[in-house]
């Protein structure tokens, strides 16, 4: 039997894929793992985490819906505009986080909205704190 080589394989010219391959990551398409409000409540004695959101127009209070090193989702009772720069502030346990963010998307209607925000200029210590909280959740779940 004669060995085949790559030159013996016919060309695939004109063949197109109907999808683009994207490798799976442990977090889906997200760059970071997110902690949702239930997981945060278990880690912080069942308490809802309040968040202040300040924009050029207003200061709102909401609750943390989820968090990761890259950003937050905040539940608000008022709609805010997408693509605007804001400042967010909240406590994770006894640690205060204050960071700039950009509103990437807002979902909801009537008096219930969830705004997804990307952190801008989050400090190294704050990023490590958020990463450490995720690690604590994973460690606690493993026990």
Q: Is residue 2 part of a domain?
A: no
Q: Is residue 17 part of a domain?
A: no
Q: Is residue 7 part of a domain?
A: no
What is the average pLDDT across 41-53? 84
Q: Is residue 4 part of a domain?
A: no
pLDDT band at 70 (very low <50, low <70, confident <90, very high): very high
Domain count, the chain: 1
What is the residue range of 47's domain? 23-142
- H helices present in the chain, as ranges: 37-43, 124-142
Q: Is residue 16 part of a domain?
A: no
CA contacts within 13 A on the Cβ side of 91: 6
Q: Is residue 116 part of a domain?
A: yes
pTM above 0.95, yes or no: no
**Could you give the CA distance from residue 103 to residue 83 in angstroms, rounded to a whole number?**
5
Give the model confidence (pLDDT) of 74-120 as tens digits.
999 999 999 999 999 999 888 899 999 999 999 998 889 999 999 99
**Could you give the CA distance from residue 11 to residue 6 in angstroms, rounded to a whole number?**
10
* Domain of residue 59, CATH code: 2.40.10.220
The pair phi, psi for residue 63, each rounded to 5°, is -130, 150
Q: Is residue 13 part of a domain?
A: no
**Could you give the CA distance from residue 120 to residue 123 in angstroms, rounded to a whole number?**
9
Judge whether residue 142 has pLDDT over 50: no
Q: Is residue 129 part of a domain?
A: yes
């Amino acid at each position: 039997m004669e060995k085949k080589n790559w030159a013996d394989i016919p060309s695939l010219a004109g063949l197109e894929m109907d999808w683009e391959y994207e490798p799976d990551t442990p977090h889906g398409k997200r760059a970071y793992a997110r902690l949702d409000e239930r997981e945060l409540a278990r880690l912080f004695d069942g308490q809802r985490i309040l968040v202040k959101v300040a924009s050029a127009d207003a200061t709102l209070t909401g609750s943390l819906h989820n968090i990761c090193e890259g950003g937050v989702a905040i539940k608000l009772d008022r709609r805010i505009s997408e693509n605007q720069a804001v400042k967010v502030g909240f406590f994770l346990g006894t640690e205060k986080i204050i960071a700039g963010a950009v509103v990437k998307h807002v979902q909801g209607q009537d008096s219930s909205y969830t705004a997804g925000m990307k952190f801008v200029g989050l400090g190294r210590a704050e990023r490590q704190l958020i990463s450490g909280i995720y690690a604590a959740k994973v460690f606690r779940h493993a026990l």
